[in-house]
């Protein structure tokens, strides 16, 4: 590690170093941090290296495009700001009003907002909040990227800008809790020092509502489900039980466990900016290994609680040819079937 | 060696449906994202690479509103030295010859060797401003350039991309105009830190009066083209599904459609 | 004089298609202005073209000059400027091509002509032209009229009009070249063939995109045949690259390349958002997928819902027949 940092003073060395798989294949899952007996954080060093590359302007075109997109349009998907809330069409969504206190202020992830496959997560949460009679609101047009992947890709300066922008934004919309849809947003927002409300993930909110009887489910969902712990929910925020409690509250659902679960969960390789950087490894993608593990358990559904996990695992299930017997569903998608 | 690079701020209309605005002479752009025109981005990178390899400066030139300044700053962050943004509501921007007159007025008394523009703007597709500028300024030009080599003796070798991938190689004496084709290089990323620092670089805002160009030479009345109206062409609904009893039938119909469209 | 002059584009012994299309368009508008259709041909050793051209217009004007051996926008401009002065055509048409855009704008500025580019429509109203062009990559049409003038200059989009049938017997007239000497400020060096080697799919005109539906490597020859028949380069979604059918530089999507071909032929691609983002610049999208709900169909212009292994072999057969 130390050699890496000294070598970056030399531009050519920097370029050569940045081509090492260690630098751009890291997903930021933090398994190393969780396990390091000396409490070290190697990911910080790798991200610092990425930062060096970003500041020379020499990054992969896909990284360039994602970062420019966040800078100009507030999301990494090259989509216009103006269409960020198209997912709300047809729904009666409570929008936060400046100065008005709410219990739960929702923060929608860029990927959930723009990807047609994932918009159902936000849509179902609205329905669930209505069903539970919760005091909630969604941020309106000013919502912009949390910067999670921006930081992971090394654009520290842009991340700081987003942090400031969002902190200011949240100060105008008082809430008891800020609820994120993605564990990546959760992790990023928790880095913002000056947020007054507590930042939680939606599974924590749902668990509370279920536990207090405010949310019950009729009907049945008789399937064998295995829950995949997202690295950014579990390893980085210690949230393991809440998603499981929610799933167990569903009538008919049989919950099974991966051998590698909780802190030992196998990263799906969606985080750490990986949605925009291809892995140079020739090995099978970890998500595919995960899909095979699920098949061995004879699970019919892999339940996910992170938009990146949904996407990578979905691809993986098809890649290993099990899409007939097994599917990937976000927890809110499962709950949606019971609404 | 001083290079001017001309950039344009355009909407990205590739995904969404385009709707006309109330005047019927323009489009409602409220739901589009805006950015530097694609080919112009390649031109900026080329200009900066020429500066890195041969020394000199790069001046960024654009006609656009205040909101376009972010893309000018991004170009400055990549290696531009200073910029001029021209804003004047009287310019009849539908006419590429008027646009060329304005841009030419901004450069004409400067000591430059090269003017780079993108070969085509994604909004109007005229592919004319750069070449028209060359004529205005009385200097040689080459369009659709896919490769540039700066030679000694005040010359430049330009590789023009023709249909079918054939390259036409020409040599021009400087100063000259080159219109740049996409794919000529890989544009670098302008880090946010650099964009912040670029705020120190000069960005002059000029009107036609500042340029010393009488509005009557480039406004609507001066133009020999008159926009009557815009309208949405009839399009078939998305995905015409090709029907047939057997796969063979569907394949045949598709082959015919492709042939008719000149695509096979 | 209501003549329509069509500037003939030729290169290395071939007259390009757009010329026959312009001659057809010219033949529709010239009568309404009481004029003739005239082909204007500049070059060296171009007499061989004059007969063929005379079958599709009223007159061929040609300039034979060794100085015009290869296309040079500046020399063409000088010759055409003098021809326009002498013959006073009402309309001059140039193809909207690499050659055309290198020439037309300069000519328009020099002679201060009403100038409109990439016409997809042209009609005459009260002896005056009305032109139609498009904005935003074909999503919006715009109609233009013009100030009164002796000569109008237009560039015409390729493949927007039907080609002219050769069914006339036009006259042929040689015009003296006004060129006196070589230009020193712009010199033609040579033509260079396209490199047969690494393909940059972001610049490809025709692409066949492979998805998971292609299933196995052993199905690649079928796909290669299709690509060959369409003159296409091959690319694919992440699935195709992961499976090893294509190298990584052929991956299309948010973690790969962004492409903008005239034709994107998606085979066995479901159309995940991340892949679609890479093809939004494609002009025409054709998709074959056995799932009628595949998101690719929302982006496609033409779709076939069927087993690609049944459709593609038949399609290849048909395309082969059409070539033969």
ipTM of predicted assembly, 2 dp? 0.93
B231 Cα to chain A: minimum distance (Å): 23
Same domain, residue pair A201 and A225: no
Same domain, residue pair A238 and A126: no
Q: What is the pLDDT of residue A14?
A: 82
Residue A293: give the domain boundaries. Answer: 216-336
Q: What is the pLDDT of residue A19?
A: 77
Q: Across all residues in chain C, what is the average pLDDT?
A: 93
Q: How far apart are CA B92 and CA B202, in angstroms?
A: 27
Cα-based torsion angle of the residue sequence A140, A144, A148, A152 in order, rounded to the nearest 10 degrees: 170
Same domain, residue pair A98 and A176: yes
Mean pLDDT, rounded, for B167-184: 96
User: Residue A78: closest CA among chain B residues belongs to which residue?
Assistant: B33
**Residues of chain A with C-beta less than 8 angstroms from the C-beta of C293:** none
CATH for the stretch B2-217: 3.40.50.620
C171 Cα to chain B: minimum distance (Å): 31
Same domain, residue pair A201 and A221: no
A89 Cα to chain B: minimum distance (Å): 15
A67 belongs to a structural domain: no
Q: Are C139 and B13 in contact (CB < 8 Å)?
A: yes
User: Residue C259: closest CA among chain B residues belongs to which residue?
Assistant: B183
Nearest neighbour of A155 by CB, restricted to B15, B30, B191: B191
Same domain, residue pair A131 and A112: yes
Which pLDDT band, with edges at 50, 70 and 90, does C174 fall under? very high
Q: What is the pLDDT of residue B37?
A: 97
Share of chain C above pLDDT 70, in %: 99
Same domain, residue pair A321 and A225: yes
Q: Are B194 and A158 in contact (CB < 8 Å)?
A: no
Q: Give the domain ranges of chain C.
A: 4-174, 201-323
Question: Which chains have at least 3 CB atom pairs separated by less than 8 Å from chain A?
Answer: B, C
A64 belongs to a structural domain: no
Higher pLDDT, B210 or C137: B210
Nearest neighbour of C254 by CB, restricted to A77, A285, A319: A77
Q: What is the CATH number of the domain that holds A190?
A: 3.40.50.1860
A-C Cβ pairs (cutoff 8 Å, strict): 42
Which pLDDT band, with edges at 50, 70 and 90, does B236 fall under? low
Q: Are C105 and B100 in contact (CB < 8 Å)?
A: yes
Q: Is B247 on the interface with C (CB under 8 A)?
A: yes
With a cut of 70, say whether residue A287 has pLDDT above it: yes
Residue B135's closest CA among B94, B176, B184?
B176
Which pLDDT band, with edges at 50, 70 and 90, does C324 fall under? confident
Taking residue C184's Cβ as centre, other Cβ atoms within 10 Å add up to 9
With a cut of 90, say whether residue C280 has pLDDT above it: no
Q: What is the pLDDT of residue B53?
A: 96
> pLDDT by residue (tens digit) across A115-124?
999 999 999 9
> pLDDT by residue (tens digit) across A48-105?
999 999 998 889 899 999 999 999 999 999 999 999 999 999 999 999 999 999 999 9
Same domain, residue pair A234 and A181: no
Where among A153, A187, A210 does a domain terminate?
A: A210
Q: Is B214 on the interface with A (CB under 8 A)?
A: no
A140 belongs to a structural domain: yes
A66 belongs to a structural domain: no
Q: How far apart are CA B32 and CA C198, in angstroms?
A: 35
Share of chain A above pLDDT 70, in %: 97
A58 Cα to chain B: minimum distance (Å): 6
Q: What is the CATH number of the domain that holds A253?
A: 3.40.50.10700
**Residues of chain B with C-beta less than 8 angstroms from the C-beta of A59:** 189
A233 belongs to a structural domain: yes
Note which residues in 36-75 of chain B have CB less than 8 A from chain C. none
Whole-prediction pTM value?
Answer: 0.91
Mean pLDDT, rounded, for A222-250: 96
| Cβ partners under 8 Å of residue B245, min gap 6 | none
* Contact criterion met (CB below 8 Å) for B226 and B105: no
Distances from the Cα of A49 to the Cαs of A16, A159, A236, C99, in angstroms?
12, 16, 21, 47
Mean pLDDT, rounded, for A127-155: 95
Nearest neighbour of A158 by CB, restricted to B34, B188, B192: B192
Q: How far apart are CA C271 and CA C297, in angstroms?
A: 8
Q: How many domains does chain A have?
A: 3
Same domain, residue pair A201 and A234: no
> pLDDT by residue (tens digit) across B45-62?
999 999 999 999 999 999
Where among A210, A233, A262 does a domain terminate?
A: A210
Nearest neighbour of A72 by CB, restricted to B33, B191, B194: B33
Q: How many residues does chain B have?
A: 264
Q: Across all residues in chain A, what is the average pLDDT?
A: 93
Mean pLDDT, rounded, for C176-201: 86
Domain C4-174 is of which CATH architecture?
3-Layer(aba) Sandwich (3.40)
With a cut of 90, say whether residue C220 has pLDDT above it: yes
Q: What is the pLDDT of residue A297?
A: 96
Nearest neighbour of A57 by CB, restricted to B31, B32, B189: B189
Mean pLDDT, rounded, for C51-62: 95
Residue C270's closest CA among C242, C230, C298, C249?
C298
Where among A210, A236, A268 does a domain terminate?
A: A210
DSSP string, A115-126: -TTTHHHHHHHH
* Contact criterion met (CB below 8 Å) for B57 and B3: yes
The CATH label, of 3.40.50.2300, 3.40.50.1220, 3.40.605.10, 3.40.50.1470, for the domain at C201-323 is: 3.40.50.1220
Q: Is B102 on the interface with C (CB under 8 A)?
A: no
A70 Cα to chain C: minimum distance (Å): 14
Which pLDDT band, with edges at 50, 70 and 90, does B13 fall under? confident
Nearest neighbour of C137 by CB, restricted to B122, B167, B241: B122
Q: What is the pLDDT of residue B237?
A: 58
Q: What is the pLDDT of residue C195?
A: 67
Q: How far apart are CA C80 and CA C174, in angstroms?
A: 14
**Residues of chain A with C-beta less than 8 angstroms from the C-beta of C254:** 62, 65-66, 77-78, 275-276
> pLDDT by residue (tens digit) across A102-117?
999 999 999 999 999 9
With a cut of 90, say whether residue A218 has pLDDT above it: no
Structure tokens at A7: 């070598």
Which pLDDT band, with edges at 50, 70 and 90, does A125 fall under? very high
- Test mutation, B8, B98, B168, chain C, max C CBs within 10 A: B168
With a cut of 70, say whether residue C196 has pLDDT above it: no
With a cut of 80, say whether residue C315 has pLDDT above it: yes
A143 belongs to a structural domain: yes
> pLDDT by residue (tens digit) across B96-149?
999 999 999 999 989 999 999 999 999 999 999 999 999 999 999 999 999 999
| Cβ partners under 8 Å of residue C31, min gap 6 | none
Q: Across all residues in chain B, what is the average pLDDT?
A: 94
A242 belongs to a structural domain: yes
Same domain, residue pair A240 and A191: no
Question: Which chains have at least 3 CB atom pairs separated by less than 8 Å from chain C?
Answer: A, B
Question: Which chains have at least 3 CB atom pairs separated by less than 8 Å from chain B?
Answer: A, C
Mean pLDDT, rounded, for B16-36: 92
Which pLDDT band, with edges at 50, 70 and 90, does C207 fall under? very high
């Amino acid at each position: 590690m130390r050699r890496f940092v000294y070598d970056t003073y030399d531009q050519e060395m920097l370029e050569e170093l940045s081509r090492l798989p260690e630098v751009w294949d890291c997903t930021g899952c933090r398994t190393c941090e969780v396990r390091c007996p000396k409490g070290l954080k190697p990911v910080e060093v790798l991200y610092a290296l990425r930062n060096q590359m970003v500041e020379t302007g020499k990054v992969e075109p896909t990284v360039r495009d994602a970062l420019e997109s966040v800078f100009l349009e507030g999301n990494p998907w090259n989509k216009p700001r103006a269409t960020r809330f198209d997912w709300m069409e047809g729904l009666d969504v409570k929008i936060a009003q400046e100065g008005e206190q709410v219990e739960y202020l929702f923060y929608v992830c860029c990927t959930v907002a723009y990807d047609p496959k994932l918009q159902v997560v936000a849509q179902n949460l609205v329905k669930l909040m209505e069903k539970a009679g919760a005091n909630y609101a969604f941020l309106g047009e000013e919502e912009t990227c949390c910067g999670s992947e921006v930081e992971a890709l090394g654009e520290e300066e842009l991340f700081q800008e987003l942090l400031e922008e969002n902190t200011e934004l949240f100060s105008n919309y008082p809430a008891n809790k800020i609820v994120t849809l993605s564990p990546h947003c959760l992790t990023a927002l928790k880095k913002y020092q000056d947020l007054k409300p507590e930042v939680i993930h939606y599974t924590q909110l749902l668990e509370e509502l279920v536990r207090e009887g405010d949310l019950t489910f009729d009907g049945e969902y008789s399937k064998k489900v295995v829950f995949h712990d997202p690295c950014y929910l579990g390893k980085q925020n210690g949230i393991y039980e809440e998603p499981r409690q929610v799933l167990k509250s569903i009538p008919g659902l049989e919950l099974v466990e991966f051998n590698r679960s909780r802190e030992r969960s196998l990263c799906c390789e969606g985080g750490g900016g990986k949605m925009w950087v291809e892995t140079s490894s020739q090995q099978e993608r970890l998500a595919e290994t995960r899909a095979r593990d699920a098949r061995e358990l004879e699970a019919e559904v892999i339940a996910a609680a992170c938009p990146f996990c949904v996407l990578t695992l979905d691809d993986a299930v098809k890649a290993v040819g099990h899409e007939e017997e097994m599917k990937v569903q976000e927890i809110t998608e499962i709950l949606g079937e019971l609404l | 060696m001083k290079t001017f690079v001309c950039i344009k701020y355009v909407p990205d209309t590739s995904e969404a449906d385009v709707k006309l605005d109330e005047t019927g002479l323009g489009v409602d752009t409220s739901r589009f994202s805006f950015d530097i025109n694609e080919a112009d981005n390649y031109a900026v990178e080329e200009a900066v690479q020429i500066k890195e390899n041969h020394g000199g400066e790069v001046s960024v030139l654009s006609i656009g509103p205040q909101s376009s300044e972010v893309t000018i700053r991004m170009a400055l962050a990549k290696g531009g030295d200073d910029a001029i943004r021209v804003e004047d509501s009287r310019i009849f921007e539908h006419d590429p010859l008027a646009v060329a007159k304005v841009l030419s007025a901004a450069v004409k008394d400067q000591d430059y060797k090269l003017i780079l523009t993108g070969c085509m703007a994604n909004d109007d597709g005229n592919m004319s401003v750069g070449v028209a500028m060359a004529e205005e300024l009385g200097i040689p030009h080459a369009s659709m350039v896919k490769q540039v080599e700066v030679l000694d003796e005040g010359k430049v070798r330009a590789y023009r991309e023709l249909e079918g991938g054939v390259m036409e190689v020409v040599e021009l004496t400087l100063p000259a105009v080159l219109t740049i084709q996409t794919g000529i290089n890989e544009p670098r990323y302008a880090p946010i830190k650099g964009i912040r620092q670029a705020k120190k670089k000069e960005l002059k805002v000029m009107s036609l009066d500042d340029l010393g160009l009488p509005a009557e030479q480039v406004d609507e009345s001066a133009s020999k083209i008159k926009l009557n109206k815009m309208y949405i062409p009839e399009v078939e609904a998305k995905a015409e599904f090709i029907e047939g009893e057997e796969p063979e039938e569907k394949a045949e119909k598709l082959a015919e459609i492709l042939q008719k469209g000149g695509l096979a | 004089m209501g003549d329509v002059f069509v500037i003939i584009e030729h290169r290395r012994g071939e007259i390009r298609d757009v010329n026959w299309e312009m001659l057809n368009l010219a033949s529709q508008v010239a009568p309404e202005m009481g004029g003739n259709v005239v082909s204007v041909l500049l070059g060296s050793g171009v007499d061989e073209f004059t007969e063929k051209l005379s079958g599709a217009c009223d007159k061929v004007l040609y300039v034979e000059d060794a100085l015009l051996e290869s296309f040079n926008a500046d020399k063409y401009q000088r010759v055409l400027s003098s021809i326009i002065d002498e013959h006073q055509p009402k309309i001059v048409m140039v193809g909207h091509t690499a050659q055309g855009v290198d020439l037309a704008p300069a000519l328009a500025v020099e002679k201060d002509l009403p100038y409109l580019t990439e016409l997809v429509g042209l009609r005459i109203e009260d002896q005056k032209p009305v032109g139609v062009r498009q904005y935003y990559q074909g999503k919006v049409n715009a109609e233009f009229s013009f100030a009164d003038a002796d000569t109008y200059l237009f560039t015409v989009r390729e493949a927007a009009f039907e080609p002219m049938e050769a069914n006339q017997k036009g006259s042929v007239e040689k015009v003296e070249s006004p060129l006196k000497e070589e230009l020193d400020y712009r010199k033609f060096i040579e033509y260079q063939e396209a490199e047969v080697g690494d393909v940059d799919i972001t610049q490809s005109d025709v692409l066949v995109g492979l998805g998971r539906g292609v299933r196995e490597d052993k199905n690649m020859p079928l796909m290669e045949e299709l690509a060959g028949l369409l003159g296409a380069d091959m690319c694919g979604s992440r699935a195709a690259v992961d499976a090893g059918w294509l190298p990584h530089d052929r991956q299309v999507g948010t973690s790969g390349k962004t492409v903008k071909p005239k034709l994107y032929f998606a085979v066995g691609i479901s159309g995940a958002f991340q892949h679609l983002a890479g093809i939004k610049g494609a002009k025409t999208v054709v998709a074959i997928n056995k799932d009628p709900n595949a998101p690719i169909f929302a982006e496609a212009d033409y779709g076939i819902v069927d087993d690609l292994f049944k459709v593609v072999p038949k399609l290849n057969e048909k395309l082969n027949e059409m070539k033969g």
